[in-house]
Structure 1
Amino acid sequence: MSNEATNSPEDLHAEDWSGEMGERWLASLDRFESMIAPIGAALLERAAYQPGETVLDVGPGGGATTRAIARAVAPAGKAIGLDVAPMLVEEAERRSAAEGIGNARFVCADAATARLDDAPFDRLFSRFGSMFFDDPIPAFANLHAMLSPGARIDLAVWGPPRDNLWMMELMGVVRQHVEVPPAVPRAPGPFAFEDVDYLSEVLTGGGFGEIEIAAYEGEQAIGGPKTSPEEAVRFVLSSLGVGRILDEQDDAIRQRASEDLKALFERYLVAGEGVMMGCKAWLVSARA
């Protein structure tokens, strides 16, 4: 094991998404999208968008959720995807144009401070795009300011790491080879809102009420459906925060970690489905 401590994968701030992490996401966009698509579908079903609504989608990445919302609110409604990563905004625009979706557009800006001319919006949506604010209460207050009174928001955020087998198992392998400091509770990152009391505190501080939180539990395909263990290892090392940790190590450590990850994924391989590992997310709704 390396004795050199390195950053936790939960330590991903906005500047990372506009740079390295945005590039990593783009390089494996279809794998990312297909991996978390079931959670997005559950959140979209819960939101139940109607024709004519105007919707702000925060942190849409490649824009799959924005396009789905645009189709749901057509023809009179519109969906605006707001993302801090310029490379993802560009790709989202390309994909939207390729699908001929005329009522969606994308804006590159920080949702914590941005003000859009399209405001006020009827609704707000975010699938795993709201957990990275350095100062979340002012950020949600800013989002609140772009919504109509009583507007509903729908968010998906990761539940506790201990309930996300995929993260616990990945980090278990990495920690066999690298010293990783424990995550800081409530710090910006994928698991910032694992504690629903803290999540409610942030939303209330941002001006939201009528908060309802439901658990989503299931299995997700690491690297997307029908991905082999070898492909899943390549996806993890090239795209996720744990891969960034191992990038900092020497070749021997990376090789041993890769072999252990492959062995892990082989244990969770389901024929015809891929590497299936348990996950838990919170599906959240509230009113402005």
Structure 2
Amino acid sequence: MSNEDLQPEAVKPEDWAGEMGLKWLTNLSSFEQMIAPIGDALLARADFQPGDNVIDLGCGGGATTIAIAGMVRPVGKVMGVDISPDLTAAAQARAAEAGATNIEFTCADASTVTLPDAPYDRLFSRFGSMFFEDPFAAFQNLHGLLRKGGRIDLAIWGPPRDNLWMMEMMGVVRNHVEVPPAIPRAPGPFAFEDLEYLGEILSGGGFTEVDVVAYEGLQPVGGVGATPEKAAEFASAAMATGRLLSDKGDAVMKAARQELTDLFARHYVPGKGVMMQGKVWLVSAIA
């Protein structure tokens, strides 16, 4: 391997309106199965009631949007917002197939979106709030979409050191390429690991009564029942691990995938899949 191969990669923002949104759609079932228990925990905490009007921020393929629609019917409604046109279209088709008539979708950047039916009663987001370039401005905009006294419920990743599903995979990547150091508070999955920083953003946006509980559990990497080989294929094709390795050549990718397979084999539980530790903050606040 040459010195050039070992140079740190430039940190690139995740293009959720394009490449990342399409990757999520291509691997929708695997991604959703991996984070479904967290979504269920956040839905239980949010405890939506019939008649609530809700925004589902970063709605992805629409699974949580459809679940919320079932909780707030018959007169409550849900607006799913996502920046990816591919995911928004898929979510619309999925909601129609499910016969959910109290759902609409908007393809937009939530940091600047205006919604004609605002203000809403509630805002919900399962991992859709950590990627704003200017989070202070974004949360000010989100605050303006809620009625006074409305509530926001967020699921955000806790510190990387407590998310072994990510740390151990990145350890494999570091055996093959030099990974740039993480930039604290930069947009990305772990932007809000620091709860003090998140508190500053929520307060700056006009939110009060911030409450946080920790969720800890095992993540089925690659989806429920995925074999170590399937999980390694998923990590290489759809996650940040593969992104960092993608232009390093077939030999590097093949070696890294084998290491990932070996790693996942140590965490494989028959009938459940590759089960790795994760930690999430479940956050609520009042507008």
Distance 2:59 2:241 in 1: 22
Misfit runs of 4+, over 6 Å = none
- The answer to whether the 8 A contact 1:7-1:245 is kept is no
Q: Tell me, in whole angstroms, the C-alpha distance in 2 between the residues paired with 1:262 and 1:242.
A: 13
Give the aligned residue type for 2:270: A
Counterpart of 2:89 in structure 1 is 90
Q: Tell me the equivalent position of 1:169.
A: 168
- 1:251 pairs with 2:250: yes
- Which residue of the partner structure matches residue 178 of structure 2? 179
- SS of aligned partner of 1:17: coil
- Maintained 8 Å contact 1:50/1:72: yes
Secondary structure at the counterpart of residue 185 of structure 1: coil
Unaligned runs of at least 5 residues, structure 2: none
Deviations 1:231-270 (A, max 9, x none): 1011111111111111121111111101100000000001
* Correspondences of 1:203-218 after superposition (within 5 Å): 203-218=202-217
2:134 corresponding residue in structure 1: 135
1: distance between equivalents of 2:192 and 2:13?
Answer: 14
- Report the number of matched residues: 284
**How far apart, in 2, do the equivalents of 1:59 and 1:167 lie?**
21
Work out the CA distance in 1 between the residues paired with 2:68 and 2:22. 25
Please give the alpha-carbon distance, in whole angstroms, between the structure 2 residues aligned to 1:194 and 1:160: 5
Q: How far apart are the structure 2 equivalents of 1:259 and 1:12?
A: 27
One-letter amino acid of the structure 2 residue matched with residue 262 of structure 1 = T
**SS across alignment from 1:212:** strand
User: 1:149: how far off?
Assistant: 0.1
Name the SS for the 1:122 alignment partner.
strand
Matched, 1:3 2:12: no
Q: Deviations over 1:102-141 (max 9, x none)?
A: 0011100000000000100000000000000000011000
SS of alignment partner, residue 156 of structure 1: strand
Change (3 A) 1:12 1:41: farther
CA drift of 1:4 comes to 2.3
Q: Contact (CA 8 Å) 1:217, 1:279: kept in 2 or not?
A: yes
Instruction: Provide the alpha-carbon RMSD of the alignment.
Output: 0.9
Any unmatched runs of 5+ in structure 1? none
Distance in 1, matches of 2:6 and 2:225, equals 36
| One-letter amino acid matched to 1:69 | I
- Counterpart residue type for residue 6 of structure 1: E
Matched residues in 2 for 1:12 and 1:231: separation?
A: 27
1:12 positional shift: 3.6
Determine the C-alpha separation between the residues in 2 that align with 1:4 and 1:252: 17
Match of 2:198 in 1: 199
**TM-score under structure 1 length normalisation:** 0.97
- 1:114, 1:98 → 2: CA distance? 27
Match of 1:123 in 2: 122
Greater length-normalized contact order (CA 8 Å, ≥ 6 residues apart): 1
Kindly, what percent of the aligned residue pairs are identical? 58
> Helix, strand or coil for the counterpart of 1:126?
strand
* In 2: Cα distance, 1:6 partner to 1:250 partner: 14
Deviation at residue 7 of structure 1 after TM alignment: 3.9
Per the alignment, residue 50 of structure 2 pairs with 51
Distance 1:98 1:6 in 2: 42
